[in-house]
Amino acid sequence: MKIAISGKGGSGKTTISATLTRLIARRGLSVLAIDGDPNPNLIQALGLGPGVEAEAVPRSVVERREDEAGKTRHVLTSSVSEIVGRYGLKAPDGVTVLVGTKVDHAGAG
């Protein structure tokens, strides 16, 4: 199950994402939380202490490839478990968190 949470800045989106993540994990499921916000604070909202930071997943984990039809596709250059192992942080209730963005939007694609 893949859930995305959207809302205006300041709406409580991150607190809601983090709390929902912890609650789903408490129901016995393995949950990967992804911080797609350019000002990441999901890590703290999940209960990792102040000052804990994750290394953002770099652009290099995705490669652009063209298929036979000439359509550009993005493919991962390593497996999700490798990405999670390298960049993921463990949060309470067995949650894993990845920080997916820390970019200036001028160069974001």
Partner 1 sequence: MRSIVGEIVNSSDGVTVMDMEASIEHLSRGTLRYVDALLVVLEPYYRSMETAGRTVPLARGLGIERIYGVANKLRSPEDAEAVEAYCRNHDLELIARIPFDENVVEADRVGRAVIDYDAASPIVEELSRAADFLLREVRVGGNGAGRN
- Using CB atoms within 10 A of its CB, is residue 98 exposed (0-12), middle (13-18) or buried (19+)? buried
What is the biggest distance separating any 2 CA atoms in the chain, rounded to whole angstroms? 48
Q: Does 3 bind partner 1 (CB under 8 A)?
A: yes
State the DSSP H helix or E strand holding residue 96, giving kind and residue range, or none if neither: strand 95-99
Q: Does 108 bind partner 1 (CB under 8 A)?
A: yes
Q: Does 90 bind partner 1 (CB under 8 A)?
A: no
Question: What is the residue whose two structure tokens read 């960049």?
Answer: 87
One residue of 53, 76, 86, 90 binding partner 1 per CB under 8 A: 76
What residues line the site for partner 1 (CB under 8 A)?
A: 1-9, 11-24, 27, 29-38, 42, 44-47, 49-50, 57, 59, 61-62, 74-76, 79-80, 83-84, 92, 98, 100-101, 103, 108-109
